[in-house]
Structure 1
Amino acid sequence: MPVSALLCLVVAISDGDTLTARCGTPGAYQPMKVRIAAIDAPERKQAFGQRAQQHLAQLCFKQRATLHAMDEDHYGRTVANVRCGTTDVAAAQVSAGLAWVYTPYASEHPHLVRLQQQARASGKGLWAQPRPLAPWSYRQRYQR
């Protein structure tokens, strides 16, 4: 199924892997909550959660974004590959050590897996911790 690109303006950053974009034509904008595909950033209360959110804001807040919508998650958010300007946002977050490659989608994004291995090997971001806790494990443990 061909994926159409949406041109949007990023108007809010929720955390390190979720943003709100205003998409559509002037006068008929639709706000869209977007989950960046293939990554999972630390939760806001987790180590590096605030840094991940700030980094995403530096990349995208008040910037033009190109969204390639792929799916909708169980929270009703659009799951999309996101570029802010010319930057692949998932790759930028993973390279900076501010997001994990989300394991179920790792095989579809081998370039992200390589970037994560590089960030981990050089101790960038969350990889500076002795035992970083993946966000999915954090949610299981603390958000019941």
Structure 2
Amino acid sequence: MKRYTICLLLALLPVTAQATPPITGKVVAVTDGDTIKVLDADKQLTKVRLAGIDCPERGQPYGRVATDAAAALVAGKTVEVEVVDTDRYGRTVGRVYVDGNNVNRALVNAGHCWAYTRYVRDKMLFTLQDDARKAQRGLWRLPAAERMPPWEWRRKGKSKPKPSSL
């Protein structure tokens, strides 16, 4: 048993040694409520998708408000990005912090976005979302018909019926 534990620890060692270091830089653009661009000290621009959240899309009810809320929290500020993953579009996925405050959580807590059920690793996002919903903060004040999660909104947009040839 002891030998097995040692082998397991040695096998995991390279994985932990290869963890991506955090990105620190200035937010130079807020693309939408859950995507920003960060310029680091080496002038490297990184597009960052905020992990575990999904804000309303442009053209979707509350989309502009969510983008403005994200901008109010991060635009022009120095952030630290705890890298979680890289998405299929090549964006860095991460938890974003301003002065030690978790921006991902702040946006969910204020009701500006959903916990992105499919990708949540930070289970606190579900609690914050429930609190925002119960308190009717942010998008939770919208009529139910206007509160469509962005992943459903995108799916509907991609599956629009083709015009009839009649």
Q: TM-score, normalised by structure 2?
A: 0.80
Partners of 2:92 and 2:85 in 1: CA distance: 6
Greater strand content:
1
Off by >6 Å, runs of 4+ in structure 1 = none
2:87 maps to 73
Matched letter for residue 6 of structure 1:
I
2:131 pairs with 1:118: yes
Structure 2, unmatched stretches of 5+, are 1-15, 160-166
**Can you list the C-alpha shifts for 1:83-133, whole angstroms capped at 9, x where unaligned?**
122321111110111110010233x32211111000000111111123210
SS in 2 for 1:14: strand
Tell me by how many angstroms 1:75 deviates: 1.2
Partners of 2:83 and 2:60 in 1: CA distance: 28
Structure 1, unmatched stretches of 5+, are none
1:140 maps to 155
2:23 pairs with 1:10: no
SS in 2 for 1:82: strand
Partners of 1:37 and 1:129 in 2: CA distance: 24
Matched letter for residue 100 of structure 1:
W
Task: Decide whether aligned partners of structure 1 residues 80 and 53 sit closer, same or farther in structure 2, where only a CA change above 3 A counts.
Answer: same
Percent identity between matched residues is 36
2:39 pairs with 1:22: yes
Alignment of 1:31-46 (within 5 A): 31-46=45-60
Partners of 1:110 and 1:57 in 2: CA distance: 24
Partners of 1:47 and 1:85 in 2: CA distance: 30
Q: TM-score, normalised by structure 1?
A: 0.91
Relative CO higher for 1 or 2, CA cutoff 8 Å, sep ≥ 6?
1
2:109 maps to 95
SS in 1 for 2:118: helix
Partners of 1:112 and 1:81 in 2: CA distance: 12
**Can you list the C-alpha shifts for 1:20-70, whole angstroms capped at 9, x where unaligned?**
0002x3xx3100000000000000111111011001101000000001111
- Give 1 or 2 for the bigger CA radius of gyration: 2
Partners of 1:122 and 1:16 in 2: CA distance: 21
